[in-house]
C-alpha cells in the first residue's frame, strides 16, 4: 500500500485477474484486493477435477495413457474429492450417477476424441510462470507445455466449455498470448503454436503467437495495471452492471443493487459462510 492509498496495490497480475477487473472493477476489489470469500461454483470445480484427471493422465508413460487409465484416474480423483473444501461447499456426493460426475466422465471421454495422448510429448503440466513487467509481475499457470514433431514448444489449455464462434476466438486467445510471452522469458524460445481444447464440443482452436499480437496484449496488461493502481489509490472501483450480476455473490454489497461496499469486508465471510482468504 503506498502512503495514502485506501487499498494495497497488487504486485502480481494474472490473465484471470485481468479478466476479472475488466468484467467488474468492484467485484475485482472484493475478490482480489480485499480477499473476501470467493464461493466455488459447479463449473469451476468441474474444471478443476477434469484438469486434475488430464494432468495425471499425461504424467503417465506415453503407452499407459489409455482410456482404461483415464477411468482408473477418474475413480481415484472421485474417491479423493470429498477431501476438497469445494466438494462439501457445493454439497456434491460421490454417487457416480450424480450429474456432476456424469459430466466429468463425458468431458474426459471427449478429450480422447480430440487427440491421442500416447503421441503427446509433454514438457510440463500445470506449469507456474511469472516474469517482471516493471512495477508488477505477470504470472500464470500453463495447463500443458509440450513439444511438437520439430521440437518446438506448444502451449495447450483445456476448456470445459464450448468452442467460441470465429468472432470470439481472439478473445479466448488473450491469455494464451501472454503465456507465449511468459514461456519465452522462462524457456528462452517462443512457442510455435497455442492450442485450446474445448472439451464440451470436442473442438480445438489453434493459432500462432504473432509478435504484434503478443505485444498488443502486453500493452493492454500495462494499461489495465495502471487502471487498477489508480483505483487502489483513489478507492474508486467502478461497477459494470450486466448479465454477470445474476451470478455475483456480492450483489448485496453492490451500489447497483442498493448495497454498501464498505460493509462487505465484515459481512461477506458471515453471509457467504466462508473465511476471507
Ligand atoms: S453485482 Fe454486478 S456490478 Fe455489482 S459487484 Fe457484482 S458484478 Fe459488479
For a pocket test of ligand 1, which of 237, 253, 256, 260 has the largest count of ligand atoms closer than 8 A to its C-beta?
256
Atom of ligand 1 nearest to the CA of 250: 6
Q: How far is the CA of 82 from the centre of ligand 1 (A)?
A: 31
Residue ID of nearest Cα to ligand 1 atom 4: 254
**226 grid coordinates:** 495502471
Atom of ligand 1 nearest to the CA of 244: 7
* Alpha-carbon gap, residue 157 to 173, rounded angstroms: 10
pLDDT on residue 42: 96
Which stretches of 40-121 are assigned E, i.e. beta strand?
none
Angle at Cα 168 formed by Cα 164 and Cα 174, nearest 5°? 105
Q: Is the pLDDT of residue 3 over 80?
A: no
pLDDT on residue 4: 55
Q: Is the pLDDT of residue 275 over 80?
A: no
Its pTM surpasses 0.75: yes
Q: How far is the CA of 174 from the centre of ligand 1 (A)?
A: 23
Q: Is the pLDDT of residue 1 over 60?
A: no
pLDDT on residue 142: 97
Atom of ligand 1 nearest to the CA of 248: 6
* Alpha-carbon gap, residue 30 to 225, rounded angstroms: 17
Q: How far is the CA of 203 from the centre of ligand 1 (A)?
A: 32
18 band by pLDDT with thresholds 50, 70 and 90 = very high
**14 grid coordinates:** 494474472
Mean pLDDT for all residues in the chain: 95
pLDDT on residue 34: 96
Q: How far is the CA of 43 from the centre of ligand 1 (A)?
A: 19
Residues 31-79: pLDDT tens digits?
999 999 999 999 999 999 999 999 999 999 999 999 999 999 999 999 9
pLDDT on residue 96: 85
Contact 226, 234 (CB under 8 A): no
* Alpha-carbon gap, residue 179 to 110, rounded angstroms: 25
Regarding the beta carbon of 36 and ligand 1, being less than 6 Å apart is answered no
Answer with the residue of higher pLDDT: 3 or 229: 229
Count of Cβ atoms closer than 10 Å to residue 184 Cβ: 16
Residue in 144, 124, 204, 212 with CA at minimum distance from that of residue 172: 204
Q: Is the pLDDT of residue 200 over 70?
A: yes
CATH 3.90.320.10 residue ranges in the chain?
122-207
CATH dotted code for 122-207 = 3.90.320.10
Amino acid at each position: 500500500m503506498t502512503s495514502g492509498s485506501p487499498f494495497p496495490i497488487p504486485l502480481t497480475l494474472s490473465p484471470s485477474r485481468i479478466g476479472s477487473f475488466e468484467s467488474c472493477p468492484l467485484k475485482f476489489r472484493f475478490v482480489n484486493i480485499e480477499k473476501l470469500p470467493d464461493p466455488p461454483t459447479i463449473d469451476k470445480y468441474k474444471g478443476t477435477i477434469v484438469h486434475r484427471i488430464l494432468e495425471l493422465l499425461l504424467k503417465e508413460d506415453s503407452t499407459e495413457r489409455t482410456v482404461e487409465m483415464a477411468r482408473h484416474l477418474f475413480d481415484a480423483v472421485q474417491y479423493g474429492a470429498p477431501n476438497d473444501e469445494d466438494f462439501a461447499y457445493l454439497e456434491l456426493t460421490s454417487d457416480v450417477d450424480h450429474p456432476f460426475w456424469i459430466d466429468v466422465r463425458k468431458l474426459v471421454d471427449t478429450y480422447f476424441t480430440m487427440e491421442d495422448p500416447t503421441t503427446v510429448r509433454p514438457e510440463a503440466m500445470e506449469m507456474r510462470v511469472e516474469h517482471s513487467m516493471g512495477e508488477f509481475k505477470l504470472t500464470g499457470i500453463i495447463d500443458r507445455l509440450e513439444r511438437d514433431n520439430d521440437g518446438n514448444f506448444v502451449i495447450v489449455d483445456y476448456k470445459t466449455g464450448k468452442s467460441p464462434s470465429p468472432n470470439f476466438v481472439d478473445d479466448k486467445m488473450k491469455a494464451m498470448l501472454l503465456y507465449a510471452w511468459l514461456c519465452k522469458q522462462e524457456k528462452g524460445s517462443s512457442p510455435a503454436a497455442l492450442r485450446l481444447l474445448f472439451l464440451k464440443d470436442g473442438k480445438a482452436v489453434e493459432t500462432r503467437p504473432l509478435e504484434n499480437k503478443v505485444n498488443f496484449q502486453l500493452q493492454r496488461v500495462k494499461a489495465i495495471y495502471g487502471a487498477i493502481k489508480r483505483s487502489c489509490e483513489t478507492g474508486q472501483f467502478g461497477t459494470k452492471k450486466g448479465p454477470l450480476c445474476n451470478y455475483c455473490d456480492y450483489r448485496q454489497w453492490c451500489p447497483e443493487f442498493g448495497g454498501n461496499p464498505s460493509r462487505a469486508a465484515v459481512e461477506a465471510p458471515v453471509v457467504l459462510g466462508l473465511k476471507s482468504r
